Amino acid sequence: MKIEAITLREIQMPLVHFFETSFGRTYSRRILLVTAHCEGVDGWGESTAAEDPFYSSEWIESAWPTIKQYLAPAILGRTISSGRECPSLFGKVRGHRMAKAALENAVWDAEARQKQQPLWKLLGGTRREISCGVSIGIQDSVEQLLEKIATELAAGYRRIKVKVKPGWDVKVLEKIRSRWAEIVLSCDANSAYTLDQAGHLRSFDQFNLLMIEQPLWDDDIYYHARLQKELRTAICLDESIIHARAAAFAVESGACRIINIKAGRVGGLTEAMKIHDLCHAQNIPVWCGGMLESGIGRAHNIALSTLANFSLPGDVSASKRYWKEDIIDPEVQVSPQGMIAISDAPGTGYRLREDLIEKLTVRKETLRA
Ligand code: OSB
Ligand code: MG
């Protein structure tokens, strides 16, 4: 499969509802989409690099020139048989994992379409449906948060995750638990705490949480291992797991008991599968995180989630929670049982609404060998 051209484009999509984490509030997304044009077949990928370098040091304005000047030239004009070949071709570039993932995942989609196979099968997935949770951001009031949780439970979601930060944690969790004693509940701090606050974090143990996600620094594993020893609640790492070695170190050192896998954060589907496999071998359950993706990134997340060790509900949820209109057809739908059914169509299994994508595009550039 010859990579003849690569198109980069930015689309802008307003969120149905703002999303707030410990690092800030997002109202509208600027999304970098990548198309790999390969001998009559197009593969699509989405960068998870955000509007700002807050979740990670990457952002849309670093991903675009990195792909344009380094990653695309490494594969343009080449004949590649699989997305698996991308990591070594990108190997000279340090970091920039979200940029790498966008391009690698586009190649995976092209490969699957060219082989007339669903991407999930190509990845070695086995699940025919995947289990869904939701991530609910910080709201203007606790009442509004409770309202949102009620809506998502009624929709069938199997796990509720709420964002926390100092000042929006224990009191909020108390209110949730006093209304719903039994639901599967977890929280995500996005690095809002320090080890000095271990005593405070220990008080979360009373809420019987499935996990506390990324309580400490984004670049830390060692202090998470110290903290995990002091908590009954399982720590799940997100930001800290930037590649398979970090996952191995985290598991070996006892820094977490669960891992959130995001293909964007770790440099693409190949590395994501490596983390999945090593966690599987060590009995560490994983789940698929989300980054407020459009349908394209969402479809890749769904394919990844079909692998056997994705045994906990992920953050991959219905398109309509984010978008008035998604750019894929059909949109991602979640059943009243909180499941997404896996499509057998080739590639990611969803059609692209190219007219709508064109309408949302604010800049576009096609690169050739
Ligand atoms: O930490 O998982 C996170 C969104 C943006 C940045 C980081 C995170 C999130 C989410 C939302 O939790 C997950 C989603 O609904 O896509
Ligand atoms: Mg997280």
Give me the pLDDT at residue 120, please.
98
Q: Is the CB of 315 under 6 A from ligand 1?
A: yes
Q: Give the mean pLDDT of 11-16.
A: 98
Of the pLDDT bands very low, low, confident and very high (cuts 50, 70, 90), residue 326 is very high
pLDDT at residue 45, rounded to an integer: 98
**Is residue 20 within 8 Å of 139, Cβ to Cβ?**
yes
Q: Which of 161, 165, 262, 274 is catalytic?
A: 262
Which of the listed residues 48, 135, 136 should we mutate to test ligand 1's pocket, taking the one with most ligand atoms within 8 A of CB?
Answer: 135
Active site residue 163: yes
pLDDT of residue 242: 98
Contacting residues for 101 by C-beta, under 8 A, at least 6 apart: 45, 47, 48, 263, 264, 265, 266, 267, 268, 269
Over residues 160-197, the pLDDT tens digits come to 999 999 999 999 999 999 999 999 999 999 999 999 99
For 14-37, how does the pLDDT look when each residue is reduced to its tens digit (9 = 90+)?
Answer: 999 999 999 999 999 999 999 999
Model pLDDT for residues 111-160, shown as the tens digit of each residue: 999 999 999 999 999 999 999 999 999 999 999 999 999 999 999 999 99
- Across residues 220-245, what is the average pLDDT? 98
Question: Per the confidence metrics, is the pTM higher than 0.85?
Answer: yes
Q: Is 359 an annotated catalytic residue? A: no
**Does the Cβ of 297 fall within 6 Å of ligand 1?**
no
55 CB less than 6 Å from ligand 1?
yes
For the segment 66-123, what is each residue's pLDDT rounded down to a tens digit? 999 999 999 999 999 999 999 999 999 999 999 999 999 999 999 999 999 999 999 9
Using CA atoms of 183, 189, 195, 200 in order, give the dihedral in degrees to the nearest 10: -50
Q: Name the closest ligand to CA 21.
A: 1
Angle, to 10 degrees, between the axis of helix 295-304 and the axis of helix 269-281?
30
Q: 38-70, pLDDT tens digit by residue?
A: 999 999 999 999 999 999 999 999 999 999 999
- Ligand 1 proximity of 289 Cβ (cutoff 6 Å): yes
